[in-house]
């Protein structure tokens, strides 16, 4: 959100567009017509956001999930995993 808003402040230099995963996220940054809802794993859903662009700034992150069964009272480290298709390197 921060990068999008900063680019929007510089209309003399940039035409900024945003891509978010949900309508709720779109509303959080103002719900403007230049904010698109899509999924980076579905190329057809992001095409309206990237058509005709000259540059792209990617600000996504993969969020690991803790494997069930970890008990902090027993010591040791928790184990984490990523959902299928959501690994950082994908």
- Kindly list the domain boundaries of the chain, sorted by start residue: 2-61
**What is the tens place of the pLDDT at every residue in 23-56?**
998 998 888 899 999 988 899 999 999 999 999 8
Q: pTM for the full model? A: 0.64
pLDDT of residue 88: 67
Q: What is the pLDDT of residue 58?
A: 80
SS (H, E, C) the chain: CHHHHHHHCCCCCCCCCEEECCHHHHHHCCCCCCEEECCCCCHHHHHHHHCCCCCCCCCCCCCCEECCCCCHHHCCCCCEECCCCCCCCC
Res. 90 pLDDT band, cuts 50 70 90:
very low
């Amino acid at each position: 959100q921060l990068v999008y808003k900063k680019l929007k402040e510089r209309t003399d230099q940039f035409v900024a567009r945003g891509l978010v995963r949900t309508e709720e996220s779109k509303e959080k940054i103002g719900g403007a017509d230049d904010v698109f809802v899509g999924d980076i794993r579905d190329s057809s859903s992001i095409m309206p956001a990237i058509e005709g662009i000259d540059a792209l700034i990617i600000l996504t992150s993969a969020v690991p999930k803790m494997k069930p069964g970890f008990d902090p009272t027993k010591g040791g480290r928790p184990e984490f995993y990523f959902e299928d298709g959501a690994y950082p390197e994908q």
